Structure 1
Amino acid sequence: MKSPFWRIGIHLLLGVSFLVLPYIFAPNGLGQIAQVAHNPHERTNLFAYILMLGFFYLNYYVLIPKLYFTQKYIYYALSICVSFGIIVGMLLSIDRQDILETTTHLEVPPPPSPHFPPPPPPKSYQQKPPLGFELSHALFLFLVGIFVSLSLQINERLRQTERENLNTKLSFLKAQINPHFLFNTLNTIYSLAIEQSPRTADVVVKLAALMRYVMREADTEKVPLAKELEYIDNYVALQQLRLDETAAIDFKIEGYPNGLQIAPLILISFIENTFKYGINPQEKSIVKIHLSIEKSILHLHTFNKKVRRFHDEETSSGIGLENARTRLGLLYPNKNLLFVNETDEDFTVELTLELS
């Protein structure tokens, strides 16, 4: 998150650029700024830009959020008119003061004398353009300020709405994943309890660690990659406790997290599917889950032989895989590569994520 000092610095830079921009394209360049002290037109012009900059921030931070976005359009229009009237009044006050100062400094030349040469002509003062021209220039700047501030605020409101919709959609997708995982794990404990297996207590401990992670960590936008890998390791260990020697599980993690972060529960759907469709105690089952980290790139490879199919579960598996695809597209746009290869005999997933 960017610091407020960074934002203030950007606003100051943009404000100074707005005030200096007219002088960059002036005939004398930036040297024309020096004429503000004795040129009435330049003085009025500079004050017009300063007043318009102040109105821009008033409109952006106060009028648009409190009146325009709350659909108080009449009050918003009145506020705009009042603001323009105040600006015009201040410019007229400055303009009148400049006229008085100019007439005060004008000197009446003495009558010519036959004994002395005529005096030099009086000091000339640069005439100001017509008042109508300066007011039309101020109106143009005022309309530009309204248009730009409205455009920026509407764009920011649309981005905020998009972020809220994204968070709502991600929460819904995670809510679909978690009950599915819990259901499978409870089925595991139930099976072991029926068998009165001594490993039941170990499975319960693993489940407690998994659910603690889901409840405390997975509700955030990002989690440390190290915790996500620990979660996956516990999940695979739980499956190994349940399956014992009925399946050949090749599970390994290569590389180091190095402080990287990842969206929680974004990998588990692919790993769940390897056990859901690759394990059958009555057949030779093979499951491969390989995770590797190289710098900021995470690679996941899963493979399982299709040893069983349940028609009732195929739909839910499709939903889980589709949820994973959707979350990848929402959370890692242009930062993920997903390849799914399905044949009649096996199922392979290759996923590459660019993390931060």
Structure 2
Amino acid sequence: MKSPAWQLTVHVLGGLAFLALPYIFAPNGLSQLLHLTSNPHELTSFASYLFMLGFFYLNYYYLIPALYFPKKYVRYALSIGAAFGIIFLLLASIDRTAIGPEMYRGRFEEHGHPPPPSNAEASPHDFPPPPSSHQMITDNKPPMGFELSHALFLFLVGVFVSLALRINHRLRQTESEKLNTELSFLKAQINPHFLFNTLNSIYSLAIEQSPHTADAVVKLSSLMRYVMREAATDWVALEHELGYISNYVALQKLRLGDTVELDFGIEGKPNGHKIAPLILISFIENAFKYGVNPQEKSLIQLRISVKEGVLTLTTFNKKVRVFYDEEAASGIGIENTRTRLELLYPDDYELKIGDSVDSFTVDLQLRIA
């Protein structure tokens, strides 16, 4: 999320660009701003842009959330009308303000007359009489109808642009909340699924009265601590996720002993990368679920590599099971992971699954932050 200072900077620069835009395309460019003190029309035009910018933020941050979204459309329309009325009265007041000395002096030059002499002893007959102040204002100010239409156009632009941006922001916020809800639901499914499988592993050790049962309980405690504390967040350090996977594989190795040929390795360094928690474990669980049978020769290969911001996971297991329990056959883990990958890494992953008669392979390439 962008910092408040960055957001404030963007708003300030955007506001300055909006105020400067009419003068960038003006014949005299930004130098036309110098006439604000000598040309009442320029001052009114600049004030209209300034007021509309203020109304944009009023509408975006207050009127739309307080009146439009709660469907108080009548009050919203009345507020919009009142705001336009106030702005137009302010513009009319500025436009009718008496011309000060500097503005009056500028009118001589704009009408082709030299400015009044600064020397008090100069004869008033040396120069032709200047036009009256009323004539100068009238000659340099468009008709009231043009001023009203110009202000109304800017006002409507402010209304529709702020509405469009606010509605779009709300839609994106709604989509984000929906995504978080869906991810939380998927994660809630994975956690009990993982616990169920791990408890089954420890149960097998206890039945066999294995001396490794205590070590398995300690590793399970470490795994559950990770699931409860860190995996509840949106992103975790890759180093912690890889440690979690290593503990899980070690737990399975304790349970299986020499009944399976296990080739497991991690290459590369995390280097501060982050990853969505529990995004890889389902593929690894699947290898043990379908690739282990004490009555047959089992082979499982698990390789993880991290290189140049790309994590690669490859798994291979020989299919040795003939009968599958209902929970295992449902494939809930892999389907959830596939959905999470699509939600969290829509354009940053490539998943290939090979399902043959006697083997099952997974090849996942994931670009990580």
- What residue in structure 1 maps to residue 54 of structure 2? 54
CA distance in 2, matches of 1:49, 1:117: 43
CA distance in 1, matches of 2:329, 2:97: 79
Q: Specify the SS of the correspondent of 2:364.
A: strand
- Over 3 Å counting, the alpha-carbon distance change for 1:193 and 1:27 in structure 2 is same
Q: Give the structure-2-normalised TM-score.
A: 0.90
- What residue in structure 1 maps to residue 338 of structure 2? 325
1:304-319 correspondence to structure 2 within 5 Å: 304-313=317-326, 316-319=329-332
178, 181, 191: which one pairs with 2:194?
181
Q: Give the structure-1-normalised TM-score.
A: 0.93
CA distance in 1, matches of 2:47, 2:204: 81
1:277-288 correspondence to structure 2 within 5 Å: 277-288=290-301
Task: For residue 121 of structure 1, report the CA deviation from its aligned partner.
Answer: 5.0
| C-alpha distance after superposition, 1:257-285 (max 9, x if no partner) | 01111000000000000000001101110
2:305 pairs with 1:297: no
- What residue in structure 2 maps to residue 122 of structure 1? 130
CA distance in 2, matches of 1:313, 1:200: 27
Task: For residue 319 of structure 1, report the CA deviation from its aligned partner.
Answer: 2.3
| C-alpha distance after superposition, 1:146-169 (max 9, x if no partner) | 000001110010011001000110
- What residue in structure 1 maps to residue 115 of structure 2? none
169, 182, 205: which one pairs with 1:156?
169
CA distance in 1, matches of 2:125, 2:85: 52
2:130 maps to a residue whose letter is P
- What residue in structure 1 maps to residue 35 of structure 2? 35
- What residue in structure 2 maps to residue 88 of structure 1? 88
Task: For residue 320 of structure 1, report the CA deviation from its aligned partner.
Answer: 1.6
| C-alpha distance after superposition, 1:117-138 (max 9, x if no partner) | 9843525835200011011100
2:24 pairs with 1:24: yes
Task: For residue 139 of structure 1, report the CA deviation from its aligned partner.
Answer: 0.3
CA distance in 2, matches of 1:347, 1:12: 57
Task: For residue 245 of structure 1, report the CA deviation from its aligned partner.
Answer: 0.2
Q: Specify the SS of the correspondent of 2:97.
A: helix
CA distance in 1, matches of 2:7, 2:130: 51
CA distance in 1, matches of 2:235, 2:329: 26
Segment of structure 1 superposing worse, 129-138 or 313-322: 313-322
Q: Specify the SS of the correspondent of 1:97.
A: coil
CA distance in 2, matches of 1:336, 1:212: 28
CA distance in 2, matches of 1:62, 1:310: 63
Segment of structure 1 superposing worse, 79-88 or 30-39: 30-39
Q: Specify the SS of the correspondent of 2:295.
A: coil
Is the 1:289–1:303 Cα contact (8 Å) retained in structure 2?
yes
2:154 pairs with 1:141: yes
Task: For residue 104 of structure 1, report the CA deviation from its aligned partner.
Answer: 8.1
2:226 pairs with 1:213: yes
2:250 pairs with 1:237: yes
CA distance in 2, matches of 1:316, 1:244: 25
CA distance in 2, matches of 1:81, 1:185: 66
Q: What is the aligned-residue RMSD (CA, Å)?
A: 2.2
| C-alpha distance after superposition, 1:30-84 (max 9, x if no partner) | 1211111111111100000000000000000111111111111111111111101
Gaps of 5+ in 1: 108-115
| Identity rate, percent | 64
- What residue in structure 2 maps to residue 192 of structure 1? 205
CA distance in 2, matches of 1:307, 1:53: 70
Task: Please identify runs of 4+ aligned residues in structure 1 that moved more than 4 A.
Answer: 98-107, 116-119, 314-317
Is the 2:38–2:103 Cα contact (8 Å) retained in structure 1?
no
CA distance in 2, matches of 1:142, 1:194: 78
2:355 pairs with 1:342: yes
217, 225, 238: which one pairs with 1:204?
217
Q: Specify the SS of the correspondent of 2:96.
A: helix
Q: Count the aligned residue pairs.
A: 349
